[in-house]
Structure 1
Amino acid sequence: MKEQLPAMMKAAVMTKPGTIVMEERPVPQVGANEVLIKVMAVGVCGSDVHYFENGRIGRYVVEKPIILGHECAGIIAAVGASVTNVSLGDRVAIEPGVTCGHCQACKEGRYNLCPDVQFLATPPVDGAFVQYMKIRADMVFAIPDHLSFEAAALVEPFSVGIHAAKRCSLQPGSTVAIMGMGPVGLMAVAAAKSFGASRIIVTDLEQVRLDAAKRLGATDVINVKEEDAVQRIKEMTDGLGVDAAWETAGNARALQSALYSLRRGGKLVIVGLPAQDEIPLNVPFMADNEIDIYGVFRYANTYPTGIKFLAGDGIDAMALITDRYPLEQTQDALERAIHNKSGSLKVMVYPNEVL
């Protein structure tokens, strides 16, 4: 039986950096190519935290009230007249970047580089900390019944790792070092495992994150408060270094460590965005060792693969979720992510569930 849609919904609105207020807003009306989603789970991302704390990320500046949240999953609550890929009641993961489909980047299949992308929770576009949201229908992907909404929301950060693996053509049997075990780094571990890496060495400052990395497939962990990452990686690889090193934290020192941990002919993958624009890197080292360097910006064509991997038995994505909040406590959820880095991995918000 079709669920009767309400006229109004709750939304957690950031009126200014550091302040989230609950507002009543009209439930969106869908166009012909759009779907309405009853949002069931939203992960708190590092970018949400950054906007909440600072009001900007690089050239993206919060200039008016905005709804944060872009790692999301839910249930199709209404479909536009031209929609054929999903049906009413389908459980779906939501890809948050709506691209133009017409520019050179889109036509090349690298739509993550589309200059006109409308990305949820990137100013001025509102995000997913709402009970209902609409989006173009090609941005939603049906999930199997056994995959939880939380895991489906994690397809978004998981996609970054999948894209990183694709960018550097990660091969089965490869050795990989991943610097930084925040949520993106942890899902990058799962991606490297899914692509068949035989040895996955990870670094971080927090033991709880290193322990989580082991659960997701890391073979070796290095606490950089206690050990020198480059020295240990060289020891672990008989002095050779790893085939690929991914820096996921946006940390200048970690990026330099990633470079020096590579074997000759290795691949440096830059995932994290550092606060500073310029970081000193050893150019003679890169030239002499023929290091390949790959930038990673979001992802493209990853959601079907991500859902397939997470729906299998090899990844315990739910191990990442440490904190759960209802929509009314979105501000508490963001503050938890900021202040509990030694204990929290992934903070989840539930817009339509009473916890």
Structure 2
Amino acid sequence: MSLDRDNLSFILEGIKQVKFEDRPVPEIIDRHDVLVNVKYTGVCGSDVHYWEHGSIGQFVVREPMVLGHESSGIISQVGASVKTLKVGDRVALEPGIPCRRCEPCKSGKYNLCIDMAFAATPPYDGTLAKYYRLPEDFCYKLPETMSLQEGALMEPLGVAVHIVKQGGVTPGSSVVVFGSGPVGLLCCAVAKAFGASKIIAVDIQQTRLDFAKKYTATSTFMPDKVSSEENAIRMKEENDLGPGADVVIDASGAEPSVHTGIHVLKTGGTYVQGGMGRSEITFPIMAACTKELNVKGSFRYGSGDYKLGIELVSTGRIDVKALITGEVKFEDAENAIKDVKMGKGIKTLIAGI
């Protein structure tokens, strides 16, 4: 396959049907837009899900769609009113453009925008292309101390920063994180950066727990095939949690994790749902009510999350390079998706053109 194209793009046509297509280079439409030559893109679980199923909930791939949304790149063109970036700057891409006009946007919660145009979420194309257009304020200049590979991980790190903020983690907090995939591991790292004294990583795969312990978790826990209450009791005993954890983060979306998380929390603790599983599950509502828990959702990222993520990485407080376990050429993008589907590695990057 020749890579000498104007804007070669990796496109999902249908379930497990992909192709490479040369598309028109995006034009600068708004005076505040920039054009980015995409250099690295991480493979996300949502990319795999769209490839395998053709949909995620209400979002259905009805027309060919460019995949990818965890990207970094180099500015190749700027609009007439762009002031913060110039051609040649290396940037991390925040891949969702809010309308800026709806009530959530105007109240400061643009991640909840009613008309969000998010990359690789139907009907919007993603970032696995040679060029991608964004408003300048959704491109974050990378410090000289950071690589473009690290820049591609600012998207999942932004998710983790938002989740941990939602949990209200403070110095001395005890935090339990269910799921030791990329986002769960990054939640552990952010919790540590925020000063948590106990960070317990939970998973059903020993290799992931081993990595979590080596990475940032202070301890790990593998659930037994018993009730969620029994697992919660053992977790509290093994980790000296007393009446329970201060904060629980679920980055798995698995129903048993939700149950155990509610039961392992102390009275008045905070539960944050970051992982997406089935659209409806059973829920231990009595425990949540009688313990007067703070139960919160967390969706993508908002104001300041990318900025803080870059600061945490550039100052050495979080190491995202340790999560990069594979890198493939652009023409091998589908193989990267298949590898992630098979559970190989932690974070695989697809190099740009």
Q: Same fold (TM over 0.5)?
A: yes
The root-mean-square deviation of aligned C-alpha atoms, in Å, is 1.6
Q: Is the 8 A contact 1:130 1:327 kept in 2?
A: no
Q: Does the CA-based 8 Å contact 2:5-2:22 persist in structure 1?
A: no
- What are the residue-to-residue correspondences of 1:236-315 with 2, within 5 Å? 236-275=239-278, 277-301=279-303, 302-315=305-318
SS, match of residue 74 in structure 2: strand
> Counterparts of 2:209 and 2:225 in 1: how far apart (Å)?
13
Conservation of the 8 A alpha-carbon contact between 1:216 and 1:317 = no
Check conservation: 2:224, 2:231, Cα contact below 8 A. Answer: no
Could you give the per-residue CA deviations for residues 202-221 of structure 1, whole angstroms, max 9, x where no partner exists? Answer: 11122232233223311001
Structure 1 runs (4+) greater than 4 angstroms displaced: 225-229
Does 2:240 correspond to 1:221?
Answer: no
Judge conservation of contact 1:216–1:315 (CA < 8 Å) in 2. Answer: no
Matched with 1:232 is: 234
- Aligned pairs for 1:1-355 (under 5 A) are 8-31=6-29, 32-224=31-223, 229-235=231-237, 236-275=239-278, 277-301=279-303, 302-339=305-342, 341=343, 343-352=344-353
Assess if the C-alpha contact under 8 Å between 2:50 and 2:56 holds in 1. yes
Percent identity, aligned pairs only, is 38
Q: Does structure 1 retain, via aligned residues, the 8 Å contact 2:39–2:351? A: yes
Name the CA distance, whole Å, in 1 between partners of 2:57 and 2:324: 28
AA of the residue aligned to 1:289: K
Alpha-carbon contact 1:171-1:195 (below 8 Å) kept: yes
Q: Distance in 2 between matches of 1:42 and 1:225?
A: 36
- Looking at structure 2, the residues matched to 198 and 29 of structure 1 have their Cα atoms a distance apart, in angstroms, of 49
Q: Are the counterparts in 2 of residues 40 and 149 from structure 1 also a CA contact under 8 Å? A: yes
Query: 1:225 Cα deviation (Å)?
Result: 5.8
In structure 2, the gaps of 5 or more residues are none
Letter in 2 for 1:96: P
Q: Equivalents in 2 of 1:238, 1:112: separation in Å? A: 34
Residue aligned with 1:8, SS:
coil
Query: 1:300-343 CA deviation, whole Å, 9 max, x = no partner?
Result: 0111101000112222211111121111111101000001x2x4
Q: Structure 1 unaligned runs (5+)?
A: 1-5
Query: How far off its partner does 1:229 sit?
Result: 4.2
Q: 1:7 to 1:348 in 2, by over 3 A?
A: closer
Q: 1:85 aligns to what SS in structure 2?
A: coil
* Structure 2 Cα separation of the partners of residues 226 and 307 of structure 1: 40
Aligned length: 344
Task: Tell whether the 8 Å contact from 1:204 to 1:210 is kept in structure 2 after alignment.
Answer: yes
Q: Indicate conservation of the 8 Å contact 1:161/1:192, yes or no.
A: no
SS at match of 1:323: strand
